[in-house]
């Protein structure tokens, strides 16, 4: 079942080639990590292996891709919300097993078995539309395992998942891989936590791919693990000058209690990080702060009850970076998106000259006329962050802002935020599962446990 | 009752009502359907919705027929009662059967193509997400200094663009979960048509004819 790729080139019509004369062999019964900069073609490669491309668009312009013996292939997509036919996890698993012509008598027991294996039994019958991004990714992984495939391809499967669940799911995946001699390929920007499991890293750089030696791979994974264990230097805010203030606030998602907070201050013009297990309600909290969800009790922004502020006025002050990137865009092309923020932005930091510098620095010049939806997952995320930073609201709520971005871009963005904070300070509230990424800019750390948000100390 | 037969029965009732003008029969049918709905313990808001929905087009047509063209008030009342029968029949189907049950039954009992059945189901299931997305686009606009009213073309252009992308993603996702057009599938839940279902269908149809013949 070796995957053999020989001189493969692939392009979408009227666009430069995404893959150019690629050579790669992925051996049978292996666990491979695909790493590389944002927009280099990782997703395209996975979809080619899965047989979805060129079926759903584009052309192989040169070379070929062969997989011995036509094995069954399963793939998990980047966007967790867009991969389900049915309304609940249980129904989706039933649908999958029906497709595989599993005998009627075995379906119910197999579904239960898979659900308990990935610890999803408790949310199996909840509507998928009420689950968090991380929970959806876990359901998608369960369905991928249910496919009983020989080759499993996972495209950024853990971006919204907390550390504990990530480790657990990785261990489950590895056990399955060893037991059934599967070929597993994972694409991920965040290389931490893989040391125990991965045999080899395939690295993309400037349209070339290289299989790293086991020694090189281990060194890279170890470096990622060291970085991930960096300690956050944070303090408990004083409570003076709060941007937001919560009193006796209760928040629900469907029937479930998410937050029950008697008192909370979020400091103005400082950077606060929110962490907590997947599905605990971090995004729900940001949605409540941005007036998109009902709650009981009081949330005030600069001493004013936000229920009494008109949306038009409020959103001039408070911006939200959506977890689901596509929702953020109003225009069609990259240039139009940036120009819109330039026109309406409030930031004194992002002058026209600085915006031009940023466009060059992040190499967006070549992408200027591209339709935003045709960008890669990471490129979209980058554009989304930039247009919201250029808007320069007094408050920016950021929901998993660095998902799908490579290390270099993350560092550049942090630098940009740091400089911008100095010149025109904003209140930043960042939700993330990877606190170490924001270590440079974070001043306070709120942890969400048992329906409470509590400030952490060093 | 078996969902496919239920759908068939409700369709037949609607068709027959369209081609006859029997006021009393229509009223009796509407009352029976309403009774069925009430027995489902709906929320009162849903029930009120089902009762108010036919009122606006119904009264409009009624006034046109009764007051202007032909002054036929009997026909006007028949039209209003027809609207009620349609809406209550539709509501009965929606509130007594889940989408999944109906699709599974249509696939197994009526041998509807699975591509059509599950394609439609996926679209229905994605609907709440689309609705949420439209309201998100509005918020996203306000955060960028653009006010998108509910009549703004941009809003719908964005929504259509999103829907097109989703249809493509959903097709790929269905394929990655093992779905192939025309390939045989098994069933997690077997749905059979029992003798009782046929009996209910035929008895209901006979009563329907009786109603339509016996009452003016």
B192 touches chain A (CB under 8 A): no
Residue-wise pLDDT tens digits, B65-97: 888 877 788 888 998 999 999 999 999 999 999
Walk across the sheet containing A73-76 and list its strands: A73-76, A151-155, A183-187, A31-35, A200-205, A208-211
Is residue A162 within 8 A of residue A134, CB to CB? The reply is yes
Higher pLDDT pick, A128 / B127: A128
Assess whether B8 and B71 both reside in one domain: yes
Indicate whether B108 belongs to any domain. no
Tell me the pLDDT of chain B averaged across its residues: 90
In chain A, what residues touch B168 (CB-CB under 8 Å)? 56
Domain count, chain A: 2
Distance of residue A191 Cα from the nearest chain B Cα, in angstroms = 25
B contacts of A326 (beta carbons < 8 Å): 162, 165
A204 vs chain B: nearest CA distance in angstroms?
25
Burial of residue A375 (CB within 10 Å: 0-12, 13-18, 19+) is buried
* B176:A83 CB<8 A: yes
| Residue among A72, A83, A100, A94 nearest A137 (CA) | A83
A206, A254: one domain: no
Question: B152 CB near a chain A CB, below 8 Å?
Answer: no
Q: Tell me which residue of A238, A424, A449, A95 sits closest to B180, measured CA to CA.
A: A95
Among the three residues A176, A196, A229, which one is the final residue of a domain in this structure? Answer: A229
Q: Are residues A216 and A265 in the same domain?
A: no
Closest chain B C-alpha to A441 CA, distance in angstroms: 24
**CA dihedral in degrees (A303, A304, A306, A307; nearest 10)?**
140
Return the sign of the alpha-carbon dihedral for residues A133, A136, A141, A144: negative
Residue A231, helix vs strand vs coil: coil
Q: Are A401 and A378 in contact (CB under 8 A)?
A: no
Structural domain of residue A353, as residue ranges?
242-456
Q: Would B82 be classed as within a structural domain?
A: yes
Q: What is the per-residue pLDDT across B157-176, written as a single tens digit (0 to 9) for each? A: 888 888 888 888 899 999 99
Q: Which of A208, A229, A250 is the last residue of a domain?
A: A229
- With a CB cutoff of 8 Å and minimum separation 6, the contacts of A98 are A107, B185, B186, B187, B188
Q: Which of A179, A203, A229 is the last residue of a domain?
A: A229
**In contact, A133 and A323? CB cutoff 8 Å:** yes
| Cβ–Cβ gap B184/A101 under 8 Å | yes
**Residues A159, A288 share a domain:** no
Give a yes or no: residue A234 inside a domain: no
B16 and B97, same structural domain?
A: yes
B94, B196: one domain:
yes
- Which residues of chain B neighbour A95 with C-beta distances below 8 Å? 118, 177, 179, 188
According to DSSP, the residues that pair with A35 across neighbouring strands are A203
A74: buried, middle or exposed (CB in 10 Å: 19+, 13-18, 0-12)?
buried
Q: Domain with A286 in it: what CATH number?
A: 3.40.50.300
Interchain proximity A77–B161, CB inside 8 Å:
no
Size of interface A-B (CB pairs under 8 A): 141
Residues (pLDDT < 70) of chain A are: 1, 206
Closest CA–CA distance from residue A355 to any residue of chain B (Å): 16
What's the confidence (pLDDT) of residue A1? 64
* Residue B106 maps to a domain: no
Decide: A303 and A247 in contact? Cβ < 8 Å.
no
* A437 vs A278: CA distance, rounded Å: 18
Burial (Cβ within 10 Å: 0-12, 13-18, ≥19) of residue A35: buried
The 8 Å CB, 24+ separation contacts for A118-124 are A118/A142, A118/A145, A118/A169, A118/A172, A119/A168, A120/A89, A123/A89, A123/A279, A124/A88, A124/A89, A124/A90
Angle of the B153-176 helix axis to the B114-143 helix axis, nearest 10:
140
Between the two ends of chain A, the Cα-to-Cα distance in Å is 50
Residues of A in contact with B132 (CB under 8 A): 129
Chain A CB within 8 Å of residue B129 CB = yes
Burial A256-266 (b: 16+ CB within 10 A, else e): eebbebeebbb
Residues A188-202 have pLDDT tens digits of 988 999 999 988 999
Chain A residues whose CB is inside 8 A of the B115 CB are none
pLDDT of residue A428: 97
pTM across the whole model: 0.91
Q: Chain B contacts of A94, Cβ < 8 Å?
A: 188-189
Range of the domain at B88: 3-101+192-214
Q: What is the DSSP string of A107-126?
A: HHHHHHHHHHHTT-GGGTTS
Mutate to test the interface with B, among A78, A84, A90 (most CBs of B within 10 A): A84
Point out the residue among A74, A81, A340 whose CB comes nearest to the CB of B144. Answer: A340
């Amino acid at each position: 079942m070796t995957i053999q790729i020989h001189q493969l080139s692939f392009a979408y019509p009227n666009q430069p080639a995404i893959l150019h004369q690629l050579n790669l062999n992925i051996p049978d019964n292996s666990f491979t990590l695909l790493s590389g900069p944002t927009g280099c073609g990782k997703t395209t490669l996975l979809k080619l292996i899965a047989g979805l491309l060129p079926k759903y668009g584009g052309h192989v312009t040169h070379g070929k891709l062969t997989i011995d013996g036509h094995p069954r292939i399963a793939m998990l997509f980047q966007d967790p919300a867009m991969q389900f036919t049915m309304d609940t996890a249980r129904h989706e698993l039933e649908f999958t097993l029906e497709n595989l012509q599993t005998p009627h008598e075995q379906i119910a027991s197999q579904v239960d078995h898979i659900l308990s294996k990935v610890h999803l039994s408790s949310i199996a019958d909840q509507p998928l539309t009420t689950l968090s991004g991380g929970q959806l990714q876990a359901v998608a992984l369960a369905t991928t395992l249910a496919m009983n495939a020989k080759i499993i391809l996972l495209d950024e499967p853990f971006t919204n998942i907390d550390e504990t669940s990530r480790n657990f799911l990785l261990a489950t995946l590895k056990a399955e891989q060893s037991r059934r001699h599967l070929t597993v390929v994972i694409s991920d920007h965040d290389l931490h936590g893989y040391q125990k499991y991965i045999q080899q890293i395939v690295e993309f750089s400037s349209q070339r791919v290289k299989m790293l030696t086991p020694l090189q791979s281990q060194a890279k994974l170890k470096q990622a693990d060291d970085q991930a264990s960096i300690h956050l230097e944070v303090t408990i805010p004083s409570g003076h000058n709060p941007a937001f203030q919560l009193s006796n606030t209760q928040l629900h998602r469907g029937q479930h209690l998410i937050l029950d907070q008697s008192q909370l201050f979020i400091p103005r013009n400082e950077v606060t990080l929110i962490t907590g297990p997947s599905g605990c309600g971090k995004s729900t909290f940001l949605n409540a702060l941005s007036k998109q969800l009902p709650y009981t009790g009081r949330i005030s922004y600069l001493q004013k009850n936000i229920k009494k502020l008109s949306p038009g006025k409020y959103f001039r002050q408070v911006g939200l970076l959506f977890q689901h990137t596509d929702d953020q865009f109003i225009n069609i092309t990259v240039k139009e998106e940036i120009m819109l923020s330039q026109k309406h932005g409030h930031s004194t930091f992002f002058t026209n000259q600085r915006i031009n510098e940023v466009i060059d620095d992040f190499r967006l010049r070549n992408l200027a006329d591209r339709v935003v939806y045709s960008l890669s997952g990471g490129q979209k995320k980058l554009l989304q962050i930039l247009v919201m930073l250029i808007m320069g609201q007094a408050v920016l709520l950021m929901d998993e802002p660095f998902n799908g971005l490579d290390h270099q871009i993350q560092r550049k963005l942090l630098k940009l935020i740091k400089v911008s904070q100095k010149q025109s300070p904003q209140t930043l509230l960042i939700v993330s599962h990877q606190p170490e990424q924001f270590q440079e800019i974070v001043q306070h750390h709120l942890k969400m446990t048992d329906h409470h948000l509590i400030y952490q100390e060093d | 009752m078996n969902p496919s037969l239920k759908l068939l029965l409700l369709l037949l009732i609607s068709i027959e009502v369209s081609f006859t003008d029997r006021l009393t029969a229509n009223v009796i049918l509407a009352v029976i359907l309403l009774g069925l709905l009430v027995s489902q313990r709906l929320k009162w808001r849903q029930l009120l919705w089902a009762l108010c929905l036919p009122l606006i087009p119904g009264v409009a047509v009624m006034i046109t027929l009764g007051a202007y063209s032909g002054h036929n008030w009997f026909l006007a009342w028949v039209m209003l009662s027809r609207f009620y029968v349609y809406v209550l029949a539709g509501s009965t189907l929606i509130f007594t059967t889940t989408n999944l049950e109906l699709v599974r039954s249509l696939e197994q009992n009526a041998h509807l193509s699975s591509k059509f059945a599950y394609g439609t189901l996926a679209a229905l299931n994605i609907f709440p997400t689309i609705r949420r997305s439209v309201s998100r686009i509005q918020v996203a606009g306000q955060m960028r200094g653009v006010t998108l009213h509910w009549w703004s073309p941009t809003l719908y252009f964005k929504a259509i663009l999103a829907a097109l992308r989703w249809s493509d993603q959903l097709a790929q996702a269905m394929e990655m979960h093992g779905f192939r057009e025309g390939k045989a599938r098994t069933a997690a839940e077997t749905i059979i048509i029992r003798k009782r279902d046929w009996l209910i269908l035929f008895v209901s149809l006979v009563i329907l004819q009786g109603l339509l013949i016996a009452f003016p």
